[in-house]
Amino acid sequence: MIGAFGGVGTTVALGIAALRRGLSSDIGLVTALPLFDGLALDAPAQFVIGGHDIRRTNFAKTVQEFQNRSNVFEPALAEPCLPDLEEWSANGRPGTVQSRGQSIGKLADLPEVTRRETTEEAIRRIQVDLSKFQERHQLDQVVVVNVASTEPPFPLSAIHSDLAQLQSALGDYPEAGAAGLLPSSSLYALAAIDLGLPYVNFTPSLGASFAAALEFAKERATVVAGQDGKTGETLLKSVLAPMFAHRNLRILSWVGHNIFGNRDAVVLNDPRNKESKIRTKDQIISQIVGYKPQTHVSIEYIESLDDWKTAWDHIHFQGFLGVKMALQFTWQGCDSLLAGPLVLDLARLALYARRHGEVGVLRHLACFFKSPMGVAEHDFFKQWAMLAEYVRGKKAEGE
């Protein structure tokens, strides 16, 4: 995992350790639904966790932070898992911060992270880490998942559409500069793809979502999926907007106000990083209803809420004979706990796809993402139908 020691990464690690010990049920894990029975997915307990991070920390520290600040990860569940967490923390390696914006850069406190190196050197360094991790643990497969903080939007140019040109330029760019060739998320993506590993982007950062990266994935016969895990307010949008559409109720305005206070929120408090997030959160309603109601999305850092993402949405709509009505909702979800199991789902499904010879973007995973790669459909239930059809198809094939 990239950004392994953050809230999401730590939830994944603790979750796998807890499932392994039978300390927790598989609630929240999509791939634990009956639909997936009979599909040859890797068991959660088989996973070994490693990762990159830019901060000097570990899983146990994050667990404690969450216990103190967000009142989750109860001791009875966390304590027996600490040995696993300690072992997996030792797999942590220094990451890279190229073009991730000042707000992320400020969090970095590891010397390797800010060391001057070319883009190519950074990629090689990551690949060495990945290979050593696989070797040391004698793993048949490795999947790379980006769960790091959101980067600012990265402007693409012609070079990002041309794999050959991009590859030949990798050595020319310094890694520790503001305006690099590629943002960090894409360095990890290229590193993974080059090794033929599946790459999943759980964030709105660029990652592998540009033409040259997709070409590279096909060349290396591996799979990619993304972007931006759909865990709370946006999930609800993709569930409720189809209802208005099917009832022919006209949405006049949809206002969404998000408040939370974890590290992710600190980074999103930077207007440049926030912009990436709002883009993916704000597009989906128009796509679903087929017209453009007024929309407003705000995200504010409110320290006291910690990981408890609270969203208030006000949907103003028009019914028969022009009458205006309203739906409001308040969502109070612990963000990392919502994201964690989906990361594990995606890892299982990406490895499955890679193992079964799929190549390129995994379109059937659209229901997991705010901004699904290669899929214009945002209606959650249509996205779900794509996944269900895929699973049933695979099962019919005898897999």
Site for its own copies in 187-226 (CB under 8 A): none
Taking the complex as a whole, the smallest distance from the CB of residue 303 to its own copies amounts, in Å, to 6
- Nearer to its own copies by Cβ, of 74 and 135: the residue is 74
Restricting to residues 240-259, which ones interact with its own copies according to CB under 8 A? 240, 242-243, 246-250, 252-253, 255, 257, 259
Two structure tokens written together for 373:
């790669």
List the one residue from 74, 135, 140, 397 that touches its own copies (CB under 8 A).
74
Taking the complex as a whole, the smallest distance from the CB of residue 88 to its own copies amounts, in Å, to 16
Q: Is there a contact between 203 and 251 (Cβ–Cβ < 8 Å)?
A: no
According to the binding rule CB under 8 A, does residue 287 interact with its own copies?
no
Collapse the DSSP code of 21 into the 3-class scheme (helix H, G, I; strand E, B; otherwise coil) and give the result.
Answer: coil
According to the binding rule CB under 8 A, does residue 389 interact with its own copies?
no
Taking the complex as a whole, the smallest distance from the CB of residue 124 to its own copies amounts, in Å, to 36
Contacts 24+ apart (CB under 8 A), 69-78: 69/306, 69/307, 70/262, 70/306, 70/307, 70/308, 70/334, 72/307, 72/334, 72/337, 73/14, 77/14, 77/18, 77/23, 77/24, 78/14
C-alpha–C-alpha distance, residues 116 and 296, integer Å: 40
Taking the complex as a whole, the smallest distance from the CB of residue 218 to its own copies amounts, in Å, to 30
Taking the complex as a whole, the smallest distance from the CB of residue 63 to its own copies amounts, in Å, to 11
Taking the complex as a whole, the smallest distance from the CB of residue 281 to its own copies amounts, in Å, to 15
- Nearer to its own copies by Cβ, of 127 and 318: the residue is 318
Residue 179's CB: how many other CB atoms inside 10 A?
10
According to the binding rule CB under 8 A, does residue 21 interact with its own copies?
no
Q: Is there a contact between 119 and 182 (Cβ–Cβ < 8 Å)?
A: yes
C-alpha–C-alpha distance, residues 200 and 146, integer Å: 6
Collapse the DSSP code of 256 into the 3-class scheme (helix H, G, I; strand E, B; otherwise coil) and give the result.
Answer: strand
Taking the complex as a whole, the smallest distance from the CB of residue 162 to its own copies amounts, in Å, to 39
Restricting to residues 288-307, which ones interact with its own copies according to CB under 8 A? 294, 296, 298, 300, 302-305
What φ, ψ does residue 217 adopt, rounded to 5°? -60, -40
List the one residue from 2, 4, 13, 32 that touches its own copies (CB under 8 A).
32
Question: Which residue, among 161, 174, 20, 176, has the nearest Cα to 83 in the 3D structure?
Answer: 20
- Nearer to its own copies by Cβ, of 25 and 165: the residue is 25
- Nearer to its own copies by Cβ, of 34 and 357: the residue is 34
Restricting to residues 308-367, which ones interact with its own copies according to CB under 8 A? 310, 312, 314, 316, 318-334, 337-338, 340-341, 367
C-alpha–C-alpha distance, residues 367 and 379, integer Å: 8
According to the binding rule CB under 8 A, does residue 28 interact with its own copies?
yes
Q: Is there a contact between 238 and 284 (Cβ–Cβ < 8 Å)?
A: yes
List the one residue from 46, 71, 102, 168 that touches its own copies (CB under 8 A).
71
Q: Total binding residues for its own copies by CB under 8 A?
A: 73
Q: Is there a contact between 399 and 356 (Cβ–Cβ < 8 Å)?
A: yes
According to the binding rule CB under 8 A, does residue 37 interact with its own copies?
no
Taking the complex as a whole, the smallest distance from the CB of residue 151 to its own copies amounts, in Å, to 24
DSSP state of 315: E
Restricting to residues 123-162, which ones interact with its own copies according to CB under 8 A? none
Taking the complex as a whole, the smallest distance from the CB of residue 327 to its own copies amounts, in Å, to 5
Beta strands in the chain (DSSP E): 51-53, 92-94, 144-146, 199-201, 223-226, 250-260, 294-301, 308-318, 324-334, 360-361
- Start-to-end C-alpha separation, the chain: 27
Two structure tokens written together for 133:
């991790």
- Nearer to its own copies by Cβ, of 275 and 300: the residue is 300
